[in-house]
Structure 1
Amino acid sequence: MADLKAQFEQAVADSKKLSEKPDNMTLLKIYALYKQASAGDVEGKRPGFTDMVGRAKFDAWAELKGKTGDEAMQEYVDLIESLK
């Protein structure tokens, strides 16, 4: 468990140093996995129609509902590793 947390924190640091910026769909996946791993299931209301970015982020995070923090951390680590 502590090892996974350390890997996750390293992946978060690595995500800020990627040589190329990922495409928007990949960025949404990174965001959603990070939020699921660090905060759990999405809560609150879906942003309004005029907030398209907020709405996309909310929807991406909501798709991961029910995924455990450890599962999300592992997927996040794997995704960042694949982008290096």
Structure 2
Amino acid sequence: MDLQQQFETAATASKTLTQKPDNETLLQLYSLYKQGTEGDINGEPPTNPFDFVAKAKYEAWEKLKGKAKEAAQQEYVSLVNKLKKA
């Protein structure tokens, strides 16, 4: 199975985890997924100062700027596999 297939399988598996990950792990999953599918963040930061979720997601993804899509996909697969065992 190549990396892209592993990544897609992990994305599906992430929706069926027996236990919901904590917020920090959810942000990590989100940012790795976005980096692995879209690459570097290219939008503007959220303008609503009270939209804490959007701000956290934006900042988490922004931290991965410059990381190769393949590296993000591999980290995502590893993280989901770790969560499946937990």
User: What TM-score bracket applies, with the shorter chain setting the length?
Assistant: over 0.9
User: Which residue in 2 is equivalent to 1:83?
Assistant: 83
Task: For residue 2 of structure 2, give the secondary structure of its aligned residue in structure 1.
Answer: helix
Q: TM-score, normalised by structure 1?
A: 0.95
Q: How far does residue 50 in structure 1 lie from its aligned partner after superposition?
A: 1.5
Task: Quote the sequence identity (%).
Answer: 52
Superposition RMSD on alpha carbons, in Å? Answer: 0.9
Q: TM-score, normalised by structure 2?
A: 0.93
Distance of 2:55 and 2:65 partners within structure 1: 16
Q: Please list every run of at least 4 consecutive aligned residues from structure 1 whose deviation after the TM superposition is greater than 4 angstroms.
A: none
Runs of 5+ in structure 1 lacking a partner? none
Letter in 1 for 2:61: W
User: Which residue in 2 is equivalent to 1:55?
Assistant: 55
Letter in 2 for 1:26: T
Letter in 1 for 2:42: E
